[in-house]
Every structure is written in C-alpha cells, then in structure tokens.
Amino acid sequence: MTDVPLRSSPRLAVYAIGGNALSDPALKGAEARSAAEAVMDDVLEDVVDLLEAGIRVVITHGNGPQVGELLLMEESLFDRRRVESTNFTPQPLGLDNWVAATQGTLGHEIATNLDNILQARGRHEQVATLLTRVEVDANDSAFSQPTKPIGPIIDNLDAVPSNWKIGITDVDVGPRRVVASPKPISIIDSDAIEALISAGAVVLCAGGGGIPVICHNRGIQGVEAVIDKDRVSALLAVSLNADFLFISTAVDSVKLDFGSDNERQITTMSISEAKQYLDDGQFPEGSMGPKIEAMLFAKQKNPELSVSLCKPGDVIEAMRGVAGTTITQ
C-alpha cells in the first residue's frame, strides 16, 4: 500500500517559496546561513504537512538574492580578466543562464533536504527538479522599466557600475540592483510538469520565476530578465487547476501602511479591496505589489482556488484561515 496520492486525488497545492526567505539580502555570513537553515526547515515542514494531509505539492521558488550574487561573480571575474589582459573581450552568459543555474543549485538544495525528510518519515514520494522555461513578451514594458531587485544590499553606491539600475523597495533596508521583470505568458514545460505530478512526484519547477524566453519563428531564445516567481506560480496554479496557491514569504501576512506607526495586518482581503489597495499605492512594485497581483490573477481566473500568503511554517494554519492573508471573492 503506497501513501503517494494518485493523479485522481482531488487536491493539489502550488507552494511558492520566496528567494528573500531562503537568503535574506540584509544578512551576511554565519547569520545569513543560520537564518536560511531555519527557513528551509519551516518550508520543508510545510511541504510534508501538506503531503500528509493527502495534498499533492508543486514547489516553486524565488532567486533574487542568489541570481544577483552569481551575476556579480561573473562581472567581478570579467573585471579581473580585463586587468590581466588588454585583449580580453567579455562574453557574459546573460541573466537567463544564471536563472537556469539557480534552478539547479536551489533545486538541488531543496530537493535533497526534502528527500531526506520524506525518507525519514517513511514516505515514498520522490522529488523531481525540472529545468523550466517560461515565455515572456519581447515588447513587455518591463524591459525599459526594471523593478525586480536582485543580489545583496549595496553598501557603497559610489562603487556601482554606471550601467546598473538601482532601486529601493519597502522590504529592504537599502538599495539593490534592479532588472527587468516581464510578465509570464506561458510555461513551456507545462506538459512535463503535469506528467511528473501524474507519476506521484513532488515537483520543483519554475525556479526563479522560470528561465525567461521569447518565442519566434526561429524557435526559443533566452532574454535578459528575471520573472517574478509569484506571477509564474499563479499562472501554474491556474493551468494545473490546483486547489491551493500558497505564497510563502518572509512576512507573516499582508500589511497596510507597512513600516509606519499605523501598520496593520490583513487576514482576509476581497478582490475589490485588493484592487483598491493597489490603486492607493499600498503595495509597491518590486516588493508586495507583484504578490498581490499574482494572487488576484489566480483568484480571478479560478474563483474556486484557495489563494493565501503566509510565512514558512504557517501553511496549514493559512489553509484553515487562522494565519496569513487569504484572498476572497
């Protein structure tokens, strides 16, 4: 007798993990590692709790801090080689390649830890990490208006290269590099995701929002961007006809007047209220804005879908409506 839910099982959850939750850009060294390990423990506990409740799970994750670090390493290497050789001509890999790299590194870390826990619990699910490409529009206005923060917080703005775009979001304590974040159109590898779910796997996919590509008459081509993982997660939840979408992030719920003396927590928020708060500027682009837009997209496309935001470790309580923030009709 297996405890792996069959494809005909009525419930499926898409669980989105924040890149900042896995690696706080405000922390460094041992403090950052300790915080990341604690978050990972809570994330994996959430996933196992869902599985033990008979709910199949598809996991997505962000990569803002991690992809920025990799890009910074590449640029630092090029700077050193320019000094060493006057004939050096840099050929950068591009953000699409570094997104793919973080799908591998973070996917390996999450899958290995989850596999070990599932084995220790005597469960039979296997974790499959899928390199996932996501189509975007080459004419998306986001390419000329970068808002997606990546990499660490910048300590010295005077040392920033002139070609960088810098932004500050309401969840950061300092400036960070920002890049284009076009909206996802379709998930190229959706059939493979569906097949893995049907085989009973816990699927890790669309890491870092997916590898951004454009589709044209010559085929598929990677582009310089980082897609928001919450928007991709919402698209994925709708396309899979999931029952639950959980946006897991570093804060315990949606806040109004965030960071002010009047800050207050929201436990439920209707579609019309969420739209009004967006119009009022409560949820800025580059921080909570894309999360709320993603939640709205999912709820409007599938009114039966349960859509919640919560911190890692609170997913069961969020499902019950006693933690986090849930979007209602």
pLDDT for the residue numbered 88 = 63
282 vs 275: CA distance, rounded Å: 10
pLDDT over 90 at 272, yes or no: yes
Q: Which of 4-8, 59-63, 298-302 has the lowest mean pLDDT?
A: 4-8
Read off the tokens for 262: 């009047």
Higher pLDDT, 35 or 207: 207
Q: Are 190 and 239 in contact (CB under 8 A)?
A: yes
Query: Active site residue: 68, 167, 229, 302, which one?
Result: 229
pLDDT for the residue numbered 92 = 64
Q: Which of 100-104, 150-154, 203-207, 276-280 has the lowest mean pLDDT?
A: 150-154
How large a percentage of the chain has pLDDT more than 70?
89
CA distances for 2 relative to 5, 91, 197, 307, angstroms: 8, 50, 15, 29
Domain boundaries, the chain: 12-134+184-328
Angle in degrees, 0-180, between the axes of helices 95-120 and 64-84, rounded to the nearest 10: 130
Which stretches of the chain are DSSP H helices? 19-22, 29-52, 64-84, 95-120, 190-198, 229-239, 271-279, 288-301, 315-320
CATH number for domain 12-134+184-328, candidates 3.40.1160.10, 3.40.50.2300, 3.40.50.1820, 3.30.530.20 = 3.40.1160.10
Q: Helix (H) and strand (E) counts for the chain?
A: 9, 17
pLDDT in tens, 114-161: 999 999 999 999 999 999 999 999 999 999 999 888 887 877 777 667
Measured from the Cβ of residue 285, the count of other Cβ atoms closer than 10 Å reads: 19
Annotation says 301 is catalytic: no
Annotation says 139 is catalytic: no
Read off the tokens for 147: 């808002």
Annotation says 311 is catalytic: no
Query: Active site residue: 255, 291, 299, 311, which one?
Result: 291
pLDDT over 60 at 21, yes or no: yes
pLDDT for the residue numbered 1 = 34
pLDDT over 80 at 287, yes or no: no
pLDDT over 50 at 7, yes or no: no
pLDDT for the residue numbered 300 = 97
Average pLDDT over residues 246-260: 92
Higher pLDDT, 261 or 5: 261
Residue at 311: amino acid letter: K
Query: Active site residue: 62, 107, 148, 255, which one?
Result: 148
Average pLDDT over residues 259-263: 90
pLDDT range class, residue 37, cuts 50, 70, 90: confident
Q: Which of 74-88, 173-187, 275-289 has the lowest mean pLDDT?
A: 74-88
327 vs 245: CA distance, rounded Å: 10
pLDDT in tens, 305-329: 999 999 999 999 999 999 999 999 9
pLDDT for the residue numbered 169 = 59
pLDDT in tens, 49-69: 999 999 999 999 988 888 888
Annotation says 255 is catalytic: no
* SS3 label, residue 238: helix
pLDDT for the residue numbered 91 = 65
Query: Active site residue: 18, 20, 151, 289, which one?
Result: 20
For the chain, give the mean pLDDT: 88
Annotation says 229 is catalytic: yes
Residue 18: which of 55, 69, 56, 65 has the closest Cα? Answer: 65
129 vs 110: CA distance, rounded Å: 9
pLDDT in tens, 157-191: 776 676 778 887 555 567 888 889 999 999 999 99
